[in-house]
Amino acid sequence: MASGEQSEAIKLLGDWCKWLVTIETAAIAAIVAMFKDGGAIPIVFQVACSFAVPLFLASIVVTGWTMLSLPTTLQNIPNHTSIWDFPAYLMTFKPPIWKLVAWQCSFFLLGLAAFAVGAIGRIWG
């Protein structure tokens, strides 16, 4: 069973995951709204969003994997072990939690960059 510090770290990681999914869902909704806005859609916006949406979705999937592993981590982590090094189980895959967090952040930041390029292209296009 997790110690107090480990439990708090797991709780904070869960909060981070919830906020990340919320932001990504809002970004995908904004992209859809911009496409439904009507009028000519600049090619820059179309291309950028064709990268942004899959990147956001990939981040949401990895974030879900992270969140699914938190209860197991809370129950099974030995004392004096970092939560970052504990494996996140999904069938036969067992990457450490730090890798999942790195993947979700990477997908999110790349999606955010593509979204920003698309939004700028939409405004100036």
Q: What's the pLDDT tens digit per position in 51-91?
A: 999 999 999 999 999 999 999 888 988 888 899 999 988 88
Question: What values do phi and psi take at 108, rounded to 5?
Answer: -65, -50
pLDDT per residue as tens digits for the range 21-61: 999 999 999 999 888 877 788 899 999 999 999 999 999 99
The predicted model scores a pTM of 0.89
pLDDT tier, 1 (very low <50, low <70, confident <90, very high otherwise): confident
SS3 letters for 12-53? HHHHHHHHHHHHHHHHHHHHHHHHHCCCCCCHHHHHHHHHHH
3-state secondary structure of 93: strand
* CB of 25 closer than 8 Å to CB of 60: yes
Residue 122 has what pLDDT?
83
**Distance in angstroms (rounded) separating the CA atoms of residues 76 and 85:** 13
Question: What values do phi and psi take at 90, rounded to 5?
Answer: -145, 100
Residue 18 has what pLDDT?
96
Residue 20 has what pLDDT?
96
